[in-house]
């Protein structure tokens, strides 16, 4: 079964938006590549995870430390080593814009998928498919992976359905919710978001791990496309022809 035109359009809008989000998000993270839990996180607090993606992951080596007062244990500040510190306004603007484009494309995909029956017919696993025997059999069919031509478009296997369902109904909504939680303007109007996610820093950490899951999904997705006939799969997702 070939992909519908609206599926192809939403797919490529979402793909372009995700690439813009990945690029801009990486530059935003480079400014402070440390992840925390709770409401507060800075150079003076222990990090849950430190990412060595820029010089700013080494707060102990920052230069030009300056004590605010002469009181022992007084707070200090320091100049960042990374040269684009506080110069990533373009990345934040692009991130915000691409996020809403992705939300719009996702909303259109969801509504058309519901009214056309695409979600129920092709993506949502049926009750009988979730039986342990069916899951084990589908796992056996994928490992070791079989390289060669495969069907274009639906029907999808159980693992594909489960993966798409998790991405669409769990990971992407979680990224949107945590992204909104990181916005001071949004949390000023809806402070309950900070309670739901346990603080700004926890929301930021969840946002990062959800993004990492999507990157892993993208890598596996592209690997499967290449293994099953890249040009044929690409042609089907662009022009709709097999």
Q: For the domain that residue 13 is a member of, what is the CATH number?
A: 1.20.950.20
- Of the two residues 73 and 32, the one the predictor is more confident about is 32
CB 157 within 8 A of CB 141: yes
Query: 24 pLDDT exceeds 80?
Result: yes
Does a structural domain hold residue 64?
A: no
- Of the two residues 39 and 58, the one the predictor is more confident about is 39
Query: 184 pLDDT exceeds 70?
Result: yes
Does a structural domain hold residue 231?
A: yes
**CA atoms within a 13 Å half-sphere pointing along the CA-CB vector of 11:** 16
Query: 13 pLDDT exceeds 90?
Result: yes
Does a structural domain hold residue 74?
A: no
% the chain with pLDDT above 90: 41
User: Which range among 111-115, 167-171, 174-178, 231-235 shows the weakest confidence by mean pLDDT?
Assistant: 231-235
Domain extent, residue 196, equals: 5-31+87-238
Predicted TM-score (pTM) of the model is: 0.81
Interacting residues of 67 by C-beta distance below 8 A, sequence separation 6+: 74, 75, 76
% the chain with pLDDT above 70: 78
Q: How many CB atoms lie under 10 A from the CB of residue 203?
A: 24
Looking only at the bridges linking them, the beta strands covering 34-35 and 63-67 are: unpaired
Query: 86 pLDDT exceeds 80?
Result: no
Q: Provide the domain count of the chain.
A: 1
Query: 62 pLDDT exceeds 90?
Result: no
Range 193-206 average pLDDT: 95
Query: 161 pLDDT exceeds 90?
Result: no
Handedness of CA 59, 95, 171, 203 (dihedral sign): positive
Alpha-helical (H) ranges within the chain are 5-31, 89-116, 118, 132-142, 158-166, 172-181, 184-189, 192-197, 200-227, 230-238
């Amino acid at each position: 079964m070939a992909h519908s035109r609206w599926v192809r359009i939403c797919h490529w809008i979402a793909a372009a938006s995700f690439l813009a989000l990945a690029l801009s998000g990486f530059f935003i993270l480079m400014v402070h590549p440390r992840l925390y839990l709770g409401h507060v996180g800075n150079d003076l607090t222990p990090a849950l995870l430190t990412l060595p993606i820029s010089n700013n992951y080494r707060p102990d080596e920052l230069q030009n430390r300056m004590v605010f007062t002469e009181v022992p244990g007084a707070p200090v500040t320091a100049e960042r080593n990374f040269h684009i510190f506080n110069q990533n306004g373009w990345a934040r603007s692009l991130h915000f814009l691409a996020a809403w484009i992705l939300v719009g494309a996702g909303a259109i995909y969801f509504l058309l998928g519901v009214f056309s029956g695409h979600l129920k017919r092709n993506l949502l696993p049926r009750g009988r498919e979730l039986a342990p025997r069916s899951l084990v059999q589908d796992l056996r069919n994928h490992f070791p992976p079989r390289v060669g031509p495969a069907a274009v478009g639906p029907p999808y296997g159980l693992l594909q359905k489960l993966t798409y369902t998790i991405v669409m109904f769990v990971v992407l909504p979680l990224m949107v919710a945590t992204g909104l939680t990181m916005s001071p303007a949004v949390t000023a109007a809806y402070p309950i978001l900070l309670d739901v996610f346990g603080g700004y820093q926890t929301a930021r950490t969840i946002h990062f791990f959800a993004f990492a899951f999507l990157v892993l999904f993208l890598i596996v997705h592209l690997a499967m496309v290449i293994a099953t006939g890249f040009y044929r799969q690409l042609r089907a997702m662009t022009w709709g022809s097999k």
